[in-house]
Amino acid sequence: MENDKKECLVCKRDDQTIPLIQITYRDTVLWICPEHMPILIHNTDKLMAMLENPSS
């Protein structure tokens, strides 16, 4: 599954607003901005909840 929309999975800012870093999870391309990188490192439970339940 490919996500063509390049926006931070946390704050929804796009690559025209802020630099984004690409990650993949379960064959899905996701984007995160530098401001929210600490979630990847320090709050993995929150990240996993966001990825498992994207409508929240």
pLDDT, position 52: 86
Can you state the percent helix, strand and coil of the chain, rounding each to 5?
A: 30, 25, 45
Note the pLDDT of residue 8.
95
- Mapped onto helix, strand or coil, the DSSP state of residue 43 is coil
pTM: 0.78
Tell me the pLDDT tens digit for each residue of 3-56. Answer: 578 999 999 999 999 999 999 988 999 999 999 999 988 998 988 888 888 665
Specify the 3-state DSSP secondary structure of 6: coil
Distance in angstroms (rounded) separating the CA atoms of residues 6 and 13: 8
User: Residue 8 burial by CB count (10 A; 0-12/13-18/19+): exposed, middle or buried?
Assistant: buried
Place 1 in a pLDDT band, splitting at 50, 70 and 90: very low
